[in-house]
Structure 1
């Protein structure tokens, strides 16, 4: 799967959040919770995923492209998102 992103945006994300988009190579899509981003009309279909990079949950916004995904945003999950992830994963495991 190809990861495509704007290098300037990745550099800005590194400066502001300490997270370059290159880290998405380690994102665990297999255990991630993925939902369509319906917060507003972006003119394209976007997805929000909560999943692990190493031992920490992160939130990624991306869109599908024919060869993989285009990364739009990456940040650490906040405590509310961590709780929601854990609750949904527990419900799936039952």
Structure 2
């Protein structure tokens, strides 16, 4: 499934994975897309789960329903972002997000 946003890239994901993620974490991939609109979101490489052929990244940012952590990978030279999972940020991750946001002002 591919969803286009008003950006230079689109989103895609596996529908079955999206349904499982919603049941497990209570976060839809549609909601996860909204994190990419947060100007204070920060992105880091997920070195533990990345491979030579697939670099995974985390974005931590404010969604329409609180701070989320979204794991994704870029495809087609960065034109498509494939969402792998999404969940509510932990207390520690929210604190890091808030600290990063304060430093950005």
TM-score range, shorter chain: 0.7 to 0.9
Tell me by how many angstroms 1:29 deviates: 4.4
The counterpart of 1:56, out of the listed 66, 69, 74, is 66
- The residue number in structure 1 matching 2:91 is 79
- The residue number in structure 2 matching 1:69 is 81
What TM-score, normalized to structure 2? 0.78
- The residue number in structure 2 matching 1:2 is 10
Q: 4+ runs of 1 displaced by more than 6 Å?
A: none
Q: 1:42 aligned to 2:51?
A: yes
- The residue number in structure 2 matching 1:33 is 42
Tell me by how many angstroms 1:84 deviates: 0.7
The counterpart of 1:14, out of the listed 22, 27, 30, is 22
Tell me by how many angstroms 1:17 deviates: 1.4
What TM-score, normalized to structure 1? 0.86
Q: Alpha carbon RMSD of aligned pairs, Å?
A: 1.6
Q: 1:88 aligned to 2:96?
A: no
Tell me by how many angstroms 1:39 deviates: 2.1
Structure 2 residue ranges without an equivalent (≥5): 1-8
